[in-house]
Amino acid sequence: MDIAAFTADPHPTLARLRAHEPVSWVPELGCWLVTSRVAALRVLRDAPTFTVDDPRFSTAQVVGPSMLSLDGPAHTAARKPFAGPFRPAEVARRFTSQVTELAAELVARIRPAGRAELRVSVAGPLAVRVVAETLGLPDIDATTVLRWYSTFVAAVSDVTAGRPAPAEAAAAFESLAEHVLAGIDGNGSLLADAVAGGLRNDEAVSNAAVLLFGGIETTEGMILNLLWHLLRDPDQLAAVRGDLDLLPNAVEESLRLEPAAAVVDRYATRDVELAGAQIRRGDPVTVSLAGANRDPATFPDPDTFDVRRTNARLHLAFAHGPHVCLAMDLARLETLIGVRTLLVELPDLALDEGHPSEPSGLVFRKPQTLHARWSSDL
């Protein structure tokens, strides 16, 4: 496998593996790679056999144990305090007005210029501000939040590559802990509610790091990927502009076609057969959400972006089973409002052909930049 080509565009390779060997040992990745939807669901639903609770799990090495890296009763206990705060109705109540105002502010700021790079001007700032609110840090400087985030991303990448976590990661974690613990009492944030629901302070800090990482990376990627899919497809864009009620399903279809988090890692706790593969205890098992989401057994014409696809929500972009993404409804809300605001306020929004881009990345996939243009005198 050519890792550089796979990072740029994994979908042809995933399609070939899914058709001929849906659970394949990939030496270049050092894991069993699961590419069919049926096999992916089996792994994601069976935490006793395919666990995250393993010393090799990179995120736990950087930020300590959290709901992301625990299984069984410990995972249930870590996740339970968030069940209420992250319910869809509660997310909508807390965040709809705030996200709407913030998106309008960000778009109004770039509108006079007639062009902008949308990652740094809209998608990133929107994700950062909402994460800060979620953690109970609404007044903290966005640069500080991004510094924590960038440090954790780099540390996880180092650990995944077999290198030790850099010293800066410990300093960033200590700084995050100081701010979270100082502001958690009675501030009304989702994290504060989780602590009130039984989360210990040390657990709050570890889970805050997880929310910081996921809340920025995944949400930014969702916004950029949806914009990229829409703006490069005139027919689909016209359909959504003509009927904004199609936009929620367009969010799901973009998630299906290019999930912002392309893979999730597990470790086999026993010898097990999976789709013909003989997996041994201790083997790393990586589920390709990107592969499962284009399985033609579930999604006809799987490589086509179709905002009217009736079963788009069957995607696994937020994983499945006990580790299904906790904040998926908040990410959906930010993506829906952010993209809707851009389409409404900039009715001739288009990709800037002078700066072409497309999604890339081995683990997290999104356009690294997304340059757009519009008429500034509308």
State how far the Cα of 241 lies from the Cα of 233, in Å rounded to an integer. Answer: 12
Q: Mean of the pLDDT values across residues 279-283?
A: 98
Point out the least confidently predicted range of 206-215, 217-226, 242-251, 334-343. 206-215
**pLDDT for residue 183:** 75
Locate 21 and state its tokens.
């060997």
CA distance 154 to 165: 8
Q: What is the mean pLDDT of the chain?
A: 92
Summarize the confidence of residues 239-262 as an average pLDDT: 97
* pLDDT tens, position by position, 89-120: 999 999 999 999 999 999 999 999 999 999 99
> CB of 330 within 8 A of CB of 130?
yes
Per-residue pLDDT, averaged over 45-66, amounts to 90
Residue 186 has pLDDT above 70, yes or no: no
Cα–Cα dist 87/101, whole Å: 22
* Most confident residue range from 85-99, 125-139, 174-188: 85-99
**Phi, psi for residue 48 in degrees, rounded to 5:** -60, -30
Question: How much is the pLDDT for 139?
Answer: 78
What pLDDT band is residue 187 in, cutting at 50, 70 and 90? low
Looking at residue 378, what is its pLDDT?
54
Average pLDDT over residues 362-368: 92
Sorted by where each begins, the domain ranges of the chain are 3-373
- Give me the mean pLDDT over the 357-378 stretch: 90
Is residue 158 over pLDDT 90?
no
Q: Are 195 and 181 in contact (CB under 8 A)?
A: no
The pLDDT tens digits for 10-53 are 999 999 999 999 999 999 999 999 999 999 999 999 999 999 99
In the predicted model, what is the mean pLDDT of residues 139-166?
81
Whether residue 71 has pLDDT greater than 90:
yes
Q: How far apart are CA 291 and CA 259, in angstroms?
A: 10
The CATH code belonging to domain 3-373 is 1.10.630.10
Q: How far apart are CA 212 and CA 150, in angstroms?
A: 10
The rounded percent of the chain whose pLDDT value lies above 90 is 67
> 54: closest CA among 319, 268, 211, 322?
268
- Nearest C-alpha neighbor of 254 from the set 279, 224, 284, 214: 224
Which token pair is 10? Answer: 């994994």
pLDDT of residue 108: 97
**Pairwise CA distance, residues 180 & 202, whole Å:** 10
**Type of residue at 184:** I
Region 284-307: what's the mean pLDDT? Answer: 98
User: How confident is the model at residue 90, as a pLDDT?
Assistant: 93
